Structure 1
Amino acid sequence: MFDWTLISEYLALIFIAVVIYFYYDKRQITTPRRRLFWSCLILTTSSIVLNILTIWVDDMHANVPLPINVAINTLYFVSSVAMTLVITVYLLMREYEFVHDKQGAKMAGYTVAALGAIYAALIATNPWTGWLFHFDASGDYLRGPLNRIVYALPVAEIILIVSCYLLHRKSVSLSMRKIVRCVPIIVALLLIFQRIYPEQLLNGTFAAVIILIIFMNFQSVRIEVDSLTELGNRSSFTAELAARIEAKQDYQVMLVGLRNFSEINRVYGHAGGDIVLFQVARKLEELSRGGFAYRFDGDEFIVLLPHTDAAEQDRRLDRIVSAMRKPWSVDKDHAVRLNAVIVEMRHLGKQWGPENVVNRLEFSLGVAKRENAEVLRFDDQMAERYAKQKRILLSMQTAMQQNRFETWFQPLYCAENGRFETAEALIRMRDEKGRLVSPGDFVPLAEQSDVIDDLTWIVIHGACDLLQSGAIPELRYVSVNLTARQLLQTGVTERLAALLDEHDVDPSQIKLEITERTVTENGALVASVMEEMRGRGFEFMMDDFGTGYSNLSSTVSMPFTYVKLDKSLIDGICSDKNSSLMVSTLIPFFHKVGEKVVAEGIESRDQALAAIDYGADRLQGFHFAKPMPAGELCLWYRTTGRQFKL
């Protein structure tokens, strides 16, 4: 027998104590994953302590009753085996986290259970068999013939973990891959150390190293905390929410979004913006006593509070609204006001999972921002709007599969010669019964998803088909809309050029409309792409000028051929002095910088005459024609368009 030294076990115990100290956080919800890691910590601590005790009682066996010595050694074997099994289960869970092969996960679980059963049987029968250990007549500890089989358990578990990794490595997370790659090397190095210094006890060291690796990669509290604000992050919010839902608890939740926060970053730098975010976090944390505050996203926060009476919930909401209206210091000389949007939800017995709650909150926040609302509650009316959105999203998916999207066209009036030489191509969708769905219902949803890309190419194909057919000889060009994401996609120029070549359409016959918002938010990058496409013969029109993102300097610096004045500017052109002043000022300005102007939303003859009087080059609106399919457009040209008189 060696004269064992316990230095390494004491150090391992200190390491585990440090992990426990930094891991403990009463604010963190006890999720299944956290419970499992706590089990790893407790069993590892128990195993190390019991290992130290076995050495102590072995050294003092003359003064320790034999039953106590047997009990301590048995408990050590039990805790050691349980520790390695629980750590293995934890690692396998993380390994299969993103793996679809659930049958493989079950087989791995059965393997761990079988190993546990074998070792449980060995430990349970040891008092009679002495296969693991026994004591001689003088009370000295003696290893049994199967004692070293205990060391085979972690080896078997490492082989199991590595095997599962090799089967599914493409689906295993990066953190788990690092663990699988480094743990066998660390174990090998520790085994070499044990070989060189056989008197050292490294059982606890092995476990402590694994625990430290797990803690750093998966379970550090910092992983669940936003580094800037020190609030819980999105994942910790969903974990807390899941726990409340599982416990069937009602709650009040408020999502706070900071509209146009990027302006603060632009003016005061990201350091100034971070100062404001930190202050907002502290205030929300103060106002969420009894609950929790989280940083949900870059400029979004969530407050989660327990259910109480309606009056108190109203007061909570009012306190947060009032706090967000106050100025926030950027530095000692400057303060800013935040344009905050607050969405509130009161959960009363709804059978929603965490993901459903988050989806409803994000939907409501989007509605609040679009409608310029400061406070919005997710009530029955919002629930119906959300349900309608889901129905439309599903309908869009099936419409794509069943070819129920169509390209329609709205002709534009040329003020110079009174002809309809151009048209805008627009997307339309029919439902399952063949009825048209309002573009206002499905286009905004499409723009928030990948569907818009497919819809754009449907429109471009439709425009090319019409131009290629030659059915309307006077049609000089058709304009189509591109989103920022589409414009900035790699290879969009080549794809568009190839499509036009296929239809024998010249790039000058397709005008690309991009919104003013696209230009404002992606200025330099958009400009470079536009210049590249202009070199291939494409021309651009700025769409929706005047919708709230107006920036004349960025507009005139871009290579636009036309600027389309939004309907919001045209509506009051005959009745509102400010609107008429704006239009009469903008049109000459754009002419001076070499850009022509389209007046959108013309709904009356008076508006048309006023727009022409102010110098508009093209006019578009229901006064001339509504959007229509290609076949109807051809008929409209023959019966109306060629004879139209303003």
Structure 2
Amino acid sequence: MTRPPAGAAPVSRCLRGLRGPAGWWQAPVVATPRLMSIVAGTCYIAASIVATVIALLEDSGAHVAGELVLGLASVGVGLLVGRLGRRWPRWAFHLFIGSAIGSVTLLVAVSGDEAYATIYPLASLFTMFFFSWPIGMLYQVVIAAALIVGRTVWDAVPTGVVVALIGTNAVVAVIIGWLVREATEAEADTLTGLANRRGLQRALDNAVEAARREGTPVSVAFLDLDNFRRVNEILGNDQGDRLLRLTGQAWRSILPPGAVLARSGGDEFGLVLPGVTASEGAAIVDALRATLPDDQTTSAGIAEWRVGDSASLLLGRADNALQQAKIAGRARTFVDVHSGAQNREMVDALPAGEFVVVYQPIVDLPTGAVIGAEALLRWTHPERGSIPPVEFIPLAEESGFILDLGRWVLQVACQEARDWDFTENPRISVNVSGRQLHDPNFVPDVRRILADTGLPPTRLVLEVTESMLEADAPVALAALETLRAEGVRIAIDDFGTGYSSLSRLDRLPVDILKIDRAFVTTLTPDTGVAPVITAIVALANALGMSTVAEGIEEPFQAAALIAHGCGAGQGWLYGRPGPAAQLAELAAVPPAAVAAECPQLAPARF
């Protein structure tokens, strides 16, 4: 097989960047109505300033006053577009681009001054930002034709200026088009040309911000193609991809102005509906579902923003509504109508200071020295008292509030752990949920928190459950692999209670196996051998991992674990969860080693 010539890869990459993931025929995904209105308004105002300055510098001429009025009027148009343009359909911007080119051409013809022709590059800028390559380049032809007419018909633009401006417009068009499509690569789904999960998040952040500022509604919906896996299995992946593309195109064509449709992953689509209530959004979603063939159904869930909701919380409620639609039998739209009383209490509890982070020491089993701690969350309600995590964590997961809560726990834990000095490089373990791992902002959040707090990445351990590392969780694995490459350590919590394939364990981004308390509690003073613990420790050693045992309450349990080669542990024997100050006190006076507690214990055989 012949290799491409040197330089071919950069050239092909450049061409792909020009084309964009959605193809030549589609507008950039990042050109949202909000950004289009801002860019168009800014260009109008900039052009009016240039025209006004040129008019004021004219020595004489009967048309100076008219040129000045036209320039100043463009300021008003720019402000109007910037303020209201986000509510207009994309085609409406053709009117403003056409009128802008026509106005500049009229100024050149009436005044006979080629200086006004320098405004044309601004039109090139926003045509390439707004529209697909063919339409954008068509506008470049129109601008070039206007310059040529100005030279040949009115003799208002010198030949040198015509050549220079045509070249400048071409350069501006290519550079802007390439930059916009490079930005699109990060927020566009390469298969459908729609926004991806990151683009959906950004659109929702903007919509929620506008809802807070203006008091307008905003709704979010998730739509899932029912039994899509069977389409791939029976007809093949190519037909499955074709169905996704056609679905995205059909839905996009009938959405109201301002709506953002995204492929959030697999066969799931996300929809942001600014200015739309949940009931109105349900009608829109049902219209989308009705466009599909009779043999292809769709489940959908929709939720409306409520005052105080974060974008992640809103996404969580919409996703929960989708799951409810699936549970109810699929092929339906489920609207989130949960009163949210307890959820509201939980959301309000965070700024009210009702949540606290406590720390349970992790010790080196042979010596009993404290080498780190696990951060645990506690909620004390002013009326109901202590609320157990088993009650509020599932609610936070279901609602999506776990994203905000998990981010806060990580921030607090890293901040406090930074100042620990009771041992060399004490580590802090923080539990991470599946929702966090699938959040596109998770990795940037971890990086930011580490940078803000000054905690070295090597001192942070992220604990995840086995179920998060299943084969169908590529997003979660990618997040963990990225952070692990930067020094963060990964632990599998409650190892041995899930269903992970051992054949995959050596390929997973894991450094620590945590032995579940269920295996530790089976140890007794008469235990001679613990096969499961022996197997886990041997497996960890073979894969270059370390082990931490949970739920150690008795000295004989610690002795048994030491005899079986487990290196570290935690439990009430070494200290209950408490504030950081208590952790420092425990570290100052570590418990005595317990290796001799059970002399009859048989040594482990590996």
Structure with bigger gyration radius: 1
TM-score norm. by structure 2 comes to 0.44
Judging by fraction of residues, say which structure has more helix. 1
TM-score norm. by structure 1 comes to 0.42
